[in-house]
Amino acid sequence: MPVGTISSSPDTVGVAVVNYPVPILETKEQVVSNCTQIANYIEGVKRGYPGLDLIIFPEYSTQGLHPQYWEDLTTTVPGEETAIFAEACRKNEVWGVFSITGEANPNGKPFNSFILINDQGEIVLNYHKIFPWVPVEPWCPGNETKVVTGPKGLKIGGVICYDGNMPEIVRDTVMKGAELVIRIQGYMNPSKEQQRAIAKVRAWENTCYFAVANMAGRDLVYSYFGQSCIIDFDGRVIAECGETPNEVQYGLLSISAIRDARKHWTAENHLYNLVHRGYTAVPDQGVADCPFDFYKNWVNNPEKVRLDVEDLTGKYPIPDKAPASKTV
């Protein structure tokens, strides 16, 4: 897609990604004040990019991850924080992606949540991070990918930070119909180059748009590298921020272009080719059966696969956290 414009059209979705400055917050009052700042941010970006349909803020941009007070900042969805975001989306007639870390979980530890709010101020998607970043993150893992219809009919799914390192999550999201996969992240150095590469690979291997919003700056623990970006479905960068906090990048996603590619590409049509193996040699639609023993075994006998993997990796990734061996 061409870049350099601030508008959009009936066929294009105008998307902005934000290098939000990492917040250091200790109280609920500070969180609410930060939410108001995010709401004001939305108003300013919409004024500067009148074609804006969707704005994306990073993981941890709402509450941060304070090493001491994080549990005190747990909230609900919906709650006071999402109410502020909902009003900003409604007022500015845009969709928004926001982070809640953590969302109260009646059955255990809080969730790390990806919240999509539409231009009417309604929460239309609440995705819980499936792969929390161990051994640091305290969040209860989710167990379901989700996709909804977004602005102008574009199909949207979401993943959170470390999720994106697992190709299965993005593939499952795309197989549910996602045309845009959004990755909100709080990724720190030294992983910058790997994460920039992953964004392009995930877009290419899934014939999908891929948008990343990452934090920038430093909190009490880490330095975050920014590089929020928007990637085309052929793995090319449409727009990318640098490392500076408060940078915003804007790009256009053509709905008709991605749907045309998915219908008419051949050698590069990875979604079709995955379940039509060798259709040139095997008339008329190739082979649909899954050829991967790992996936078949994982579904049918997950505990055995857990043990098989531990033969490769070891049983305890942090040796000094392993239970003491029993003596007789």
Q: Which residues are catalytic?
A: 59, 129, 161
271 exposure class (CB count in 10 Å sphere: 0-12, 13-18, 19+): middle
d(CA 84, CA 275) in angstroms, rounded, equals 44
Of 72, 56, 67, 61, nearest in space to 222 by CA: 67
d(CA 186, CA 245) in angstroms, rounded, equals 13
Question: For the sheet containing 123-128, what is the strand order?
Answer: 123-128, 111-117, 95-103, 52-56, 12-18, 248-254
| Angle (CA) 34 138 122, round 5° | 45
Q: Which two tokens stand for residue 156?
A: 């949207």
CA atoms in the 13 A half-sphere facing the CB of 138: 16
Tell how strand 155-160 and strand 180-185 pair up.
parallel
